[in-house]
Amino acid sequence: MIDIEVVLSPALLHLAEVKNKNVVVIDILRATSTICTAIHEGASSVRAVDSIDEALILRNQGYVIAGERNGHKIEGFDMGNSPFECMNGLLTDKKLALTTTNGTKCITAAMIAGASHVIAGSFLNIDATANWLKTDNKAVILLCAGWKDKVNLEDSLYAGALSKKLLNFNQLKLECDSTFMVLDLYEKAANNISEYLTKSSHYQRLSHLHHQEDMEYCLTENKFTTVVGQKNVEMFKIN
C-alpha cells in the first residue's frame, strides 16, 4: 500500500514529512512538462535552480540556461520555458539549467527537505510515472507548485489524475483530505481537461502571452515512457 499525501501549495510543504519519500513536483504549465521534454529530446540532465544568478554561474560550467519569470523568457538566457524550445536536437547531450517562477523552486525545496527521489510530474508520461511509483513502493508526496504559493487548478488536477491511477492499482492508502479533494476535482474534469482548464488563472496568463500551443502540448497524455527524476542535484531518466 502506498501512502500518498497531496500538498496543494509549496507554502504547505513544511507541514509534510518529506524525508525518504518520493516527491512528485507538479508544474504542469509548464516547468515539469518542459523538464520531461528536455530529457526525452536528448538533454543529458536538467538542473533546477532557484535564481538567475545560479543559472548564470552554471552557464560558465557549460550548461545551456533556460528560464522565465512571470511567463516571460529571462533576458540574456539561451531559452525560455517552452517545451518546444527543447526540440529539434538543440539539447542533444547538453546539460540544461532551468529556473522558473514556481516549479524549479519546488524541486530544490523537495530535495533540500530530504526526498528519496524528486520526480518531474507531467501528463506527458503519467502512466510511466504511476508505474514507477508503484514499483518503488515508497510513500509519495504530490507537491503542486501552484502560482506564487497560491493553489492552482492544473497542478491539483494532475495530482488527482495521478492519484486515480495509483488507486486503480489498488495501491493507495487514502487518508488525506487533499487527496480526496483532487480526486473529486479530477472526476469533474476528466472528460475534457483542456476545456476545464480554460478558466484557470495560469491558462489565462499564458493565453495572453500566446502560449496556447505549449498548453495543448503539456496536456497531452503519455507521449513518453521515460520517468524523469532527481537523486542528487541533476534530473535524468530513472527508468
Which residue is listed with cell 496568463?
205
Site for ligand 3SL in 146-205 (CB under 6 A): none
The verdict on 37 binding ligand 3SL (CB under 6 A) reads: no
Distance of alpha carbon 239 from alpha carbon 236, whole angstroms: 9
The verdict on 84 binding ligand 3SL (CB under 6 A) reads: no
The verdict on 85 binding ligand 3SL (CB under 6 A) reads: no
Stretch that binds ligand 3SL, among 28-36, 154-162, 193-201, 219-227 (CB under 6 A): 28-36
Name the 3-class secondary structure at 122.
coil
What region does 114 belong to: left with phi over 0, alpha with psi -120 to 50, or beta? left
Stretch that binds ligand 3SL, among 13-21, 37-45, 100-108, 113-121 (CB under 6 A): 100-108
Which residue is listed with cell 478558466?
199
Nearer to ligand 3SL, 139 or 206 (CB): 206
Distance of alpha carbon 179 from alpha carbon 124, whole angstroms: 21
Cβ atoms within 10 Å, residue 95: 18
Task: Find out whether 162 and 129 touch, Cβ atoms under 8 Å.
Answer: yes
Nearer to ligand 3SL, 101 or 125 (CB): 101
Stretch that binds ligand 3SL, among 1-9, 98-106, 120-128, 135-143 (CB under 6 A): 98-106
Residue numbers at the binding site for ligand 3SL (CB under 6 A)? 27, 29-31, 68, 71, 81, 100-103, 145, 206
